[in-house]
Chains A and B, each alone.
Chain A
Amino acid sequence: MSDNAVSDGALGDRAPQGRSGDRAQYGMCAALALLGVLVLVDASRIGAATSSNDPIGPRPVPIILGVLLIVVSVFYAVDVARGGVGEAEAGEDVDLTTRIDVRTVAMLIAAFLVNAVLIEPLGWVISGSLLFWGSAFALGNRHHIRGLAIGVALALVTFYAFAIGLGVNLPAGILQGIL
């Protein structure tokens, strides 16, 4: 642990806002280990169905994967303990000096879930418009009418071009017969 404190201090100057040392990485290690356990438990459930055609059956691959996941999670944890930090992904619109904006992300997820729930009952044109408008709002768009107008236009264009034009399956929902 003393080791961690040292690297915390050493990296602190370079990476502000607490990404230094980055304890949260242990969560990732734990998730990997958990996934490994899950894969192993599931593999133990599979019947040992081997035959002359298939000498090893369906079990060995998940077992190998489960073990490897646990092994890699241990190596990962050791790397983190030694001060290893995975570099967060940069990008044109990404400003890594800010904290994670939980509110925006939560609103986006909400907009996304609304679409997932409403797509079949109300149809793609309505749910897709709401998705676009809601996501744009979450991301800071305050031109509500314009946002909604673009959303409706996109949803209509994609519906006619893909669902009717190319035969892609998009539900019409309550607008069945109108569109």
Chain B
Amino acid sequence: MDNLNALIAGFGDVLTPLNLLVALLGVTVGTAVGVLPGIGPAMTVALLLPITYGMEPTQALILFAAIFYGGMYGGSTTSILLNTPGESSSVVTAIEGNKMAKAGRAAQALATAAIGSFVAGTIATLALVFVMPQVVDFAISLGAPEYLAIILVAFVGVSAVLGTSRVRGLASLLVGLTIGVVGIDFVTGQQRLTMGIPQLADGIDVVVVAVGIFAVGEALWVAAHLRRKAAEVIPVGRPWMGRDDWRRSWKPWLRGTAFGFPFGAIPAGGAEMPTFLSYMTEKKLTRHPEEFGRGAIEGVAGPEAANNASAAGTLVPLLALGLPTNATAAIMLAALQGYGMEPGPLLLEKQPDLVWALIASLFIGNTMLLVLNLPLAPAWAKLLQIPRPYLYAGILFFASMGAYAVNSQPFDLFLLLVLGLVGFAMRRFGLPVLPLIVGVILGPLAEKQARRSLQLSGGDPSGLIGGPVAWVCYAIIAIVLFWPLVAKLIRSRRGEGRDVENKSEVSV
């Protein structure tokens, strides 16, 4: 029951007026950016990073976590009231949610999403309390080679498993890793990829990369394809559910949570898979199969719960291993580094107050979100009517401010634009942005672990391979990377000829 005691102590730390205010601010901002198109929690946290360097680390993290959770709530509002989901994790919610809204049941859809998110968030955060320290216990014994292997698994996971095209994911990852190399080598002091530009000697700040790729890239991309006619927002009153809706919702909530948390907790999980699985399960188990495709409440309740539970799940690898598996977690990791903390298993040992206060704040933030979202949903929906020129001009405005504030040099603004154009090109050509961000943040860490491993083995390359944990990791990587080859071989043996013929022609 150590964990619970620590958690209670964490509550004690969080329950100060200032911290509660920060949490309230966070969930409000988070919901707003979740509702607003073109801006999400990752971008917001990145923009706020330079501003919060003056705050207490605990408060900044409470703020970020609250924004992260708030973004999930806001995202579901958008996908229900507009049929175009902003994030890939709310695609599934939009399927039934928007149908419900069109059928005049927007209030129920929003209610089951909000209450389901609360239930899932609370259960999953509780799971985090018990699972995370176990992972830390396991991870604390790992050495540099094992760490390297786990980071490599995360690389392959975010680039080859998430997303639709592995070659595009890997391309994105490599660009990120390359950006991570820029600057003075931490051991030898040699300049790498700085092109003789003095401002690059300290490396490219993660904030500039994240803001450039997320905010500027997104604003430019939307500008290039701006919908001239604003999308139709379905009007909604205060969310509520009838007795029948409750009866049909509570089981999907619990099942969604069960799908979401584990997927979030593994380094290649993400929210797409569990939300989709939850949707399929509910479709199969429902007593109202005729409603699926026409607005079934189960199809909103399950995936929305899965989405939130997976968000809590991603905090397990983040806090226990220092591995981010989604964009917001990646930026939070950068924040931890910015405060001079070493993310990883030692975090819980060295900064237990911070970790437990953060987790306690999640419970509080989650409750605030429920209170904030149920009565205020119509007000949030109004945000969708903000004139787009002002919205995207505002995003560019805050992006420039945030990037400039990092180092107070105009050079960063030019760099920001270049990165924004990279982000634009990636959106145009369907390259996922998450691998790039993860590469920038974890790349230098991976190199450090690799060089540390070789230092321990005195330069013997076998030092890189490490022990059984690392072997398992490399086996996973090999399977993931070579699986399509194997699958293709099997298929060509079976003689599904056409595809393979084309391939052999082209390879000439």
Interface residues of A in 64-91 (CB under 8 A from B): 65, 68-69, 72-73, 75-76, 78-79, 81-91
Partner of B401, one of A24, A113, A138, A162: A162
Interface residues of B in 250-309 (CB under 8 A from A): none
Most chain B Cβ neighbours within 10 Å, of A68, A86, A105: A86
B50 near A168 with CB under 8 A, answer yes
Residues of chain B at interface, number, CB under 8 A:
82
A156 on the B face (CB < 8 A): no
Residue ID in chain B nearest A84 by CB atoms: B165
Interface residues of B in 351-382 (CB under 8 A from A): none
Residue ID in chain B nearest A138 by CB atoms: B223
Also in contact, A58 and B51, with CB within 8 A (given A32-B174, A128-B400, A136-B393): no
B227 near A94 with CB under 8 A, answer yes
B188 near A57 with CB under 8 A, answer yes
Which stretch (B20-28, B64-72, B114-122, B422-430) binds chain A? Answer: B422-430
Also in contact, A65 and B181, with CB within 8 A (given A54-B455, A84-B165, A87-B430): yes
Contacts of A109 in B (CB 8 A): 220, 417
Contacts of A119 in B (CB 8 A): 400, 404, 410, 413
Also in contact, A154 and B177, with CB within 8 A (given A81-B506, A94-B225): no
Contacts of B216 in A (CB 8 A): 112
A95 near B223 with CB under 8 A, answer no
* C-alpha spacing A156/B428, complex, angstroms: 35
Contacts of A25 in B (CB 8 A): 429
Residue ID in chain B nearest A109 by CB atoms: B417
Partner of A104, one of B85, B226, B450: B226
A139 near B388 with CB under 8 A, answer yes
A170 on the B face (CB < 8 A): yes
A11 on the B face (CB < 8 A): no
A150 on the B face (CB < 8 A): yes
Contacts of B190 in A (CB 8 A): 46-47, 49, 58
1/0 per residue, CB under 8 A from B, across A36-67: the answer is 00110011001101001111111001100100
| Nearest chain A CB to B192 CB, angstrom units | 6
Residues of chain A at interface, number, CB under 8 A:
92
B201 on the A face (CB < 8 A): no
A131 on the B face (CB < 8 A): yes
* C-alpha spacing A54/B453, complex, angstroms: 10
| Nearest chain A CB to B391 CB, angstrom units | 8
| Nearest chain A CB to B432 CB, angstrom units | 9
Contacts of A65 in B (CB 8 A): 174, 177-178, 181
Contacts of B410 in A (CB 8 A): 116-117, 119-120
Also in contact, A62 and B193, with CB within 8 A (given A3-B502, A117-B410, A135-B397): yes
B223 near A105 with CB under 8 A, answer yes
| Nearest chain B CB to A149 CB, angstrom units | 11
A100 on the B face (CB < 8 A): yes
Contacts of A141 in B (CB 8 A): 387, 389-390, 393
12 residue pairs bridging A and B, Cβ less than 8 Å apart: A24-B429, A68-B174, A75-B167, A76-B168, A91-B37, A104-B226, A109-B417, A112-B216, A119-B400, A151-B397, A162-B405, A166-B54
A-to-B contact residues, CB < 8 Å: 2-3, 22, 24-25, 28, 31-32, 35, 38-39, 42-43, 46-47, 49, 52-58, 61-62, 65, 68-69, 72-73, 75-76, 78-79, 81-96, 98, 100-102, 104-105, 108-109, 111-113, 115-117, 119-120, 124, 128, 131-141, 147, 150-151, 154-155, 158, 162, 166-171
